[in-house]
Amino acid sequence: MFKVGKVSYLNTVPLFYRFEDPMIELVEGEPSYLVSLLRYGKIHAGIVSSVEYLFNRSQYRVVSGLCIASKQRVCSVLLFSKRPMLEIKRVYLTPASLTSKILCKHLLEDVYKLKPEYVESRESADALLLIGDDALYEKRLGKFEYVYDLAEEWHKVYSLPFVFALFLVRKDADPSLDRLIEELALKSIKAFYEDFAQGRVKVEGFSRDELKDYFYHCIDYFLDEEKERSLELFGSLAYNHR
């Protein structure tokens, strides 16, 4: 039996839409939790934060061609702020994330040349980094005057897509697992988009228009050469923020 980690957010619904096999057991959780399970061998594989691969390459194989990325906007990695970007002083970074936290630090410190204090409580912060469904729900509440999409910020600077997560397989796992994951995920994505186009997909808590914007204009699942280039660039910039 293979244990495979699945991020428990809207963004993985297409990847796991038909991800059923007698050999596979899914384990759900937030990205940082899944990374710790994978690192310590409690699961064999999972779609997890891309920085885990960038910092510990020798431990993993990457399932080819698949990722969670965005071409421009991602819509669910958002910095919510009471002040304009250049005036941000105290930042809360969600502990659910690894990649987006580092992306946020890179943008604030290296691109915008700020020296923010990172605080543990939301209440004392003037800006909050949230990811996944937490970010999508917070946006709806409309409590913050400034909302920055971090993939869009990355794109403004580098004109590149951004890769948030990769399907990693532990090197000590059976080699047949990579192929099985690739097949099931590709089958899932195809079935999801076919069903969505036919109006057959419903996800509790989200309207059809919200889903359409998210899955057609924000999230992208295909790891191509441009995304690999972006990943390597991020790897070289991320090192100072680990």
Interface with ligand ISJ (CB under 6 A): 7, 9, 11, 31, 49, 68, 74, 76-77, 97-100, 131-132, 164-165
Distance CA(147)–CA(234), nearest Å, equals: 22
Q: For the CB of residue 28, give the shortest distance to ligand ISJ in the complex, in Å.
A: 12
For ligand ISJ, give the closer residue by CB, 1 or 31.
Answer: 31
For ligand ISJ, give the closer residue by CB, 66 or 165.
Answer: 165
For ligand ISJ, give the closer residue by CB, 80 or 84.
Answer: 80
Q: Which two tokens stand for residue 37?
A: 């399970």
For ligand ISJ, give the closer residue by CB, 176 or 240.
Answer: 240
For ligand ISJ, give the closer residue by CB, 6 or 44.
Answer: 6
Q: For the CB of residue 208, give the shortest distance to ligand ISJ in the complex, in Å.
A: 20
Q: For the CB of residue 7, give the shortest distance to ligand ISJ in the complex, in Å.
A: 4
Q: For the CB of residue 102, give the shortest distance to ligand ISJ in the complex, in Å.
A: 8
Q: For the CB of residue 2, give the shortest distance to ligand ISJ in the complex, in Å.
A: 20
